[in-house]
């Protein structure tokens, strides 16, 4: 085996067509309208690692997640997982093998479980789809094991999803995701629909499972506290681009990109150190007509001439990567 | 529950003579029984049964429906005469009034028609035909409508547009017109299908094709909502194909409204069958349905033989009303907003 990372995402781009129907365009004389949801995003996730993507609503985090798991075809760019290109027109069998190795945990545990299926059938679905068990007894046994693994009772399998609370449902989702023995889990805001008290339980369960099974996570979140607790590395996204990638320690101690600074300055200060807390200024621009150059420059306190002219590339600065003209020019 | 107990790869060696799978299969059967018993218990304990027992109207409608349907299907056992046995008919018995009127005979409790057929027996047999046609045509409409609705809703885009435009066009033709058209086409293709028992299926086809649109629209609407839910994404993620997603994952979630429409449509289908038979494109006078009986009786109404029309008409009205009331109750019971 090579030492290539488990997941390698290169130059991922996704454009959505949000035009009106053809007849409307013809009569109203409007052209097509495109939204650049994700632009040129590249990252890697190693085995057992957690990469967290953070950003405001509309920054393209979830779109990245959907492209990585294979739910949404990218406009351009590649997703390579364990050496297999997710979107290459490969053999169906090869792709099915790849699908077993990655799974997803969804944001809303009320919509991600089929309300008409019993929990044991929901969890057994991936086992059946990949033919991982020889007979009914083995499936039953495996489902019981998985339920116990996520802290539920094996007899809960006979119930329907509506008989569970939000946190318990998210545990069921985790059990379903683990049922195909994946190596890589994409978690799209796994705790944002849960009570604060339950969030910690789910996050601890996820960490625990990672330690035991060597899982790699791609964690999508808008909650910096969650990300700090979980991540090996953090990627900050703004308007479809990665603007800074760093370890949590480095990112929180010394954020480089002005947008990252803005986010971290806005965090509530629980230590009451007396640090002034700055509210976030401005709003994320409309992705249909993004500002030219660096997309952040209209909100950036450090913007100067090249910012509105050129898109800054993501460059390595020591152990981190930043996409900012001001950082390159040594202004921060 | 749907995949078999074993998933042997193709080309695997034949099972050893001891067949260790036999024990498993046996246990599987026991599990099935237990599962069904559990399901029945859960059903009897459900809100639906509770709301049914509390609604006197629904219980009354159910009793009437069960009585009429039961009598219709037991017709060969309980009918005093066999109206299909043309040899047994005596023209001298024709036009007899009900037993309690002057000139009535106890042999013919509800009187006889112009051929000397016992009205009661003919109603029993005719109701059976009407209900069978109703059920078959509802099943046909359901199959077409649900499949096309799922397809349109799940695939979206062009398939959706084409299917729904076809549905719109279908909706502009009244059911009777569709049925007459199909009858005419069938007549042109199979010259004397009307004599060969093909009428039953032509009726089913006509009525089924007239009523599928409602199912398709309802199912499409619900599917549009369901397909964007994450449980569908979770199924796509593990490579489950569109057909299995539509029929195994989404279909159970769209069944409630379909069930309501099917119940109400059953009454509508029975009435449509009667209308078609009344217009002369339904079942032949030798094997009359309720509609055929009303058509025959209609000719003798002004000569005072009211019983030929009144009793089949009453049966039809009673059956349609009871099934409709059941459908109304079901609609309210399954609608969470009305609870």
Q: Is A10 on the interface with B (CB under 8 A)?
A: no
Q: What are the backbone angles phi and psi of residue B322, rounded to the nearest 5°? A: -65, -45
Residue B158 near chain A (CB below 8 Å): no
User: pLDDT tens for residues A127-183?
Assistant: 999 988 888 899 999 999 999 999 999 999 888 898 899 999 999 999 999 999 999
Closest to B30 in 3D by CA, of B63, B9, B5: B5
When CB atoms are compared, the residue of B3, B5, B234 closest to A106 is: B234
Worst-scoring range by mean pLDDT, A64-68, A201-205, A270-274, B49-53? A270-274
Which residues, listed in sequence order, are joined to residue A50 by a DSSP beta bridge? A217
Write down all domains in chain A, each with its CATH number in brackets: 7-231 (3.40.50.300)
State the best of A108, A136, A142, A158 to mutate against chain B, taking most chain B CBs within 10 Å. A136
Please, which residues 162-191 of chain A have a Cβ atom closer than 8 Å to chain B?
Answer: 173, 176, 180
- Residue-wise pLDDT for A102-116, tens only, equals 999 999 988 999 988
pLDDT of B314 higher than 60: yes
**B227 near A CB under 8 A:** no
To probe the interface with B, which of A66, A108, A114 has the most B CB atoms within 10 Å? A114
- The pLDDT value given to residue A273: 67
Is residue B19 less than 8 Å (CB to CB) from chain A? Answer: no
Residue pair A37/A287 in contact by the 8 Å Cβ criterion: yes
Q: Tell me what pLDDT residue B335 has.
A: 67
Give chain B's domains with CATH numbers: 47-85+95-338 (1.10.3720.10)
Residue A242's alpha-carbon distances to A41, A76, A283, A296, in angstroms, are 6, 16, 18, 12
Taking contacts as CB-CB distances below 8 angstroms, the residues of chain B near A133 are 7
**A&B contacts, CB < 8 Å:** 71
What distance in Å separates the CA atoms of residue A52 and residue A61, rounded to the nearest whole number? 10
Is the pLDDT reported for residue B3 higher than 50?
A: no
CA–CA gap between residue B213 and residue B145 (Å, rounded): 6
pLDDT tier, B192 (very low <50, low <70, confident <90, very high otherwise): low
In the block, residue with structure tokens 């399954």? B334
A278 vs A69 pLDDT, higher one: A69
Which residues of B are less than 8 Å from A161 in CB distance? none
Which residues lie closer than 8 Å to A123 by C-beta, 6 or more apart?
A143, A146, A147, A157, A172, A175, A176, A179
In angstroms, the CA B125 to CA B102 distance is 26
- Could you tell me which chain A residue has the CA closest to the CA of B157? A21
Q: Does A110 touch chain B (CB under 8 A)?
A: no
Interchain contact, B238 vs A107, CB within 8 Å: no
What is the share, in percent, of chain A residues with pLDDT greater than 70?
A: 96
**Pairing state between β A216-221 and A233-238:** unpaired
Best of A111, A119, A130 to mutate (most B CBs within 10 Å, chain B) = A111
Instruction: For residue B157, list chain A residues with Cβ-Cβ distance below 8 A.
Output: none
- From B41's Cα to the closest Cα of chain A, the distance in A is 14
pLDDT value at B18 more than 60: no
Which residues does chain A have within 8 Å of residue B233's beta carbon, measured at their own beta carbons?
Answer: 71, 104, 106, 112
A144 touches A186 (CB < 8 A): no
Q: Does A19 touch chain B (CB under 8 A)?
A: no
CB contact under 8 A, B252 and A104: no
pLDDT of residue A65: 92
User: Among residues of chain B, what percentage have pLDDT more than 90?
Assistant: 26
pLDDT digits (tens, 9 = 90+) for A62-81: 999 999 998 999 999 999 88
Average pLDDT over residues B145-154: 95
Q: Which of B153, B221, B171, B31 is nearest to A120 (CA)?
A: B31
Global pTM reads: 0.80
The pLDDT-based confidence of B287 (bands split at 50, 70, 90) is: confident
**Average pLDDT across chain B, whole number:** 82
Q: Which of A71, A134, A137 sits opposite B236 (nearest CB)?
A: A71
Q: What is the pLDDT of residue B106?
A: 79
Asked if residue B8 has pLDDT above 50, the reply is no
Contact A135 B7 (CB under 8 A): yes
Range 78-97 of A in CB contact (< 8 A) with B: 95-96
CB B234 within 8 A of CB A71: no
Task: For residues A181-208, give the mean pLDDT.
Answer: 91
**More confidently predicted of B20 and A245:** A245
For residue B50, the model assigns a pLDDT of 84
> Could A104 and B249 be called an inter-chain contact, meaning their C-beta atoms sit closer than 8 Å?
no
- Interchain contact B156–A (C-beta under 8 A): no
3-state SS class at B158? helix
A76 - beta bridge partners?
A13
Query: Chain B residue with minimal CA distance to A132?
Result: B7
B5–chain A Cβ distance below 8 A for any pair: yes
In this complex, is the C-beta atom of A260 within 8 Å of any C-beta atom belonging to chain B?
no
Spatial separation of the C-alpha atoms in residues A35 and A14, rounded to whole Å = 8
Radius of gyration in angstroms for the set of CA atoms belonging to chain A, rounded to a whole number: 21
Nearest by CB to residue A112, choosing from B3, B231, B236, is B231
Nearest-by-CA chain A residue for B256:
A116
Q: Are strands A184-188 and A102-105 parallel, antiparallel or unpaired?
A: parallel
Determine the distance in angstroms separating the CA of A303 from the nearest CA of chain B, rounded to an integer: 40
Which of chain A's residues have a Cβ under 8 Å away from the Cβ of B241? none
Question: B205 pLDDT exceeds 70?
Answer: yes
Among B177, B182, B172, B219, which residue's Cα sits nearest to residue B204? B182
pLDDT at A208: 93
Tokens 């049964």 — which residue? B49
Spatial separation of the C-alpha atoms in residues B59 and B245, rounded to whole Å:
37
Distance from CA of B4 to the nearest CA of A (A): 8
List the Cα angle B128/B132/B134 in 5-degree steps.
115
Average pLDDT over every residue of A99-104 = 91
Tell me whether A71 touches chain B (CB under 8 Å): yes
Q: What is the mean pLDDT of residues B34-46?
A: 82
State whether B230 and A112 contact (CB < 8 Å). yes
Is the Cβ pair B233, A71 closer than 8 Å?
yes
Cβ-nearest to A99 among B27, B31, B239: B239
Alpha carbon distance B119, B96 (integer Å): 10
Burial B198-220 (b: 16+ CB within 10 A, else e): ebbbbbbbbbbbbbbbbbbbbbb
Report the range of poorest mean pLDDT among A28-32, A58-62, A198-202: A28-32
User: Where are the strands (E) in chain A, listed by range?
Assistant: 7-17, 34-45, 50-54, 76-81, 84-85, 102-105, 184-188, 216-221, 233-238, 241-246, 315-317, 320-322
User: Contacts of residue A125 in chain B, CB cutoff 8 Å?
Assistant: 234-235, 238, 240
pLDDT, position A275: 67
B1, B5, B231 ranked by CB distance to A114: nearest = B231
Residues B22-55 as b/e (b if ≥16 CB within 10 A, e otherwise) read eebeeebeeeeeeeeeeeeeeeeeeeeeebbeeb
Kindly identify which residue of chain A lies nearest to residue B244, measuring between CA atoms: A129
Residue B254, Cβ neighbours under 10 Å: how many? 24
Among A119-133, A145-159, B176-190, B264-278, the range scoring the smallest mean pLDDT is B176-190
Q: How confident is the model at residue A271 (pLDDT cuts 50, 70, 90)?
A: low
User: Chain A closest CA to B229's CA: distance in Å?
Assistant: 6
Q: Considering only CA atoms, which of B253, B264, B243 is closest in space to residue B326?
A: B264
């Amino acid at each position: 085996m090579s030492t290539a990372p488990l997941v390698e995402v290169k130059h991922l781009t996704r454009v959505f067509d949000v035009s009106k129907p053809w007849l409307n365009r013809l009569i109203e004389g409007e052209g097509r309208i495109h939204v650049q949801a994700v632009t040129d995003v590249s990252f890697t996730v190693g085995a057992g690692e957690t990469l967290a993507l953070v950003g405001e609503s509309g920054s393209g985090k979830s779109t990245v997640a959907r492209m990585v798991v294979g739910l949404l075809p990218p406009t351009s760019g590649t997703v390579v997982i364990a050496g297999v290109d997710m979107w290459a027109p490969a053999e169906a069998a090869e792709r099915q093998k790849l699908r077993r190795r990655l799974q997803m945990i969804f944001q809303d545990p009320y919509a991600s479980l089929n309300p008409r299926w019993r929990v044991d059938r929901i969890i057994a679905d991936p086992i059946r789809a990949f033919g991982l068990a020889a007979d009914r007894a083995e499936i039953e046994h495996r489902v019981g094991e998985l339920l116990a693994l996520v802290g539920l009772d094996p007899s809960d399998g006979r119930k329907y999803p509506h008989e569970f609370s939000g946190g318990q449902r998210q545990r069921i989702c985790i059990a379903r995701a683990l049922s195909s023995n994946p190596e890589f889990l994409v978690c799209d805001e796994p705790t944002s629909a849960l009570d604060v008290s339950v969030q910690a339980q789910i996050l601890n369960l996820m960490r625990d499972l990672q330690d035991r099974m060597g899982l790699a996570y791609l964690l999508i979140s808008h909650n910096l506290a969650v990300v700090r607790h979980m991540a090996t590395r953090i990627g900050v996204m703004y308007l479809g681009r990665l603007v800074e990638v760093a370890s949590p320690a480095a990112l929180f101690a010394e954020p480089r990109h002005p947008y990252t600074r803005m986010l971290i300055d806005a965090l509530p200060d629980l230590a009451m150190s007396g640090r002034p807390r700055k509210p976030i200024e401005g709003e994320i621009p409309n992705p249909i007509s993004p500002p030219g150059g660096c997309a952040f420059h209209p909100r950036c306190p450090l913007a100067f001439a090249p910012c509105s002219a050129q898109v800054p590339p993501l460059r390595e600065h020591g152990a981190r990567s930043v996409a900012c003209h001001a950082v390159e020019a040594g202004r921060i | 529950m749907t995949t078999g107990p074993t998933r042997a790869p193709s080309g695997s060696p034949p099972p050893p003579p001891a067949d260790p799978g036999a024990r498993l299969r046996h246990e599987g059967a026991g599990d099935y029984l237990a599962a069904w018993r559990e399901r029945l218990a859960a059903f009897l304990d459900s809100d639906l049964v509770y709301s049914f027992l509390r609604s006197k109207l629904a219980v009354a409608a159910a009793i009437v429906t069960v009585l009429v349907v039961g009598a219709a299907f037991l017709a060969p056992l309980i009918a005093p005469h066999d109206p299909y046995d043309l040899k047994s008919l005596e023209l001298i018995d024709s036009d007899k009034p009900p037993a309690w009127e002057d000139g009535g005979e106890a042999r013919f409790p509800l009187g006889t028609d112009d051929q000397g057929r016992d009205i009661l027996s003919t109603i029993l047999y005719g109701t059976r035909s009407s209900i069978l046609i109703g059920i078959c045509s509802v099943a046909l409409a359901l199959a077409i409508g649900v499949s096309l609705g799922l397809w349109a809703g799940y695939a979206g885009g062009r398939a959706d547009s084409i299917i729904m435009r076809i549905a719109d066009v279908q909706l502009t033709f009244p059911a009777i017109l569709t049925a007459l058209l199909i009858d005419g086409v069938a007549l042109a293709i199979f010259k004397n299908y009307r004599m060969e028992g093909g009428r039953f299926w032509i009726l089913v086809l006509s009525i089924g094709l007239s009523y599928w649109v409602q199912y398709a629209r309802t199912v499409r609407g619900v599917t549009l909502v369901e397909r964007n839910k994450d449980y569908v994404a979770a199924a796509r993620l593990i490579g489950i194909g569109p057909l299995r997603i539509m029929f195994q994952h989404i279909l159970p979630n769209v069944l409630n409204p379909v069930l309501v429409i099917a119940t109400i449509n059953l009454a509508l289908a029975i009435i449509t069958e009667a209308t078609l038979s009344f217009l002369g494109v339904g079942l032949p006078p030798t094997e009359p349905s309720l509609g055929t009986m009303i058509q025959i009786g209609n000719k003798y109404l002004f000569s005072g033989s009211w019983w030929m029309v009144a009793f089949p008409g009453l049966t039809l009205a009673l059956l349609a009303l009871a099934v409709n009331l059941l459908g109304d109750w079901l609609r309210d019971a399954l609608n969470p907003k009305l609870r």
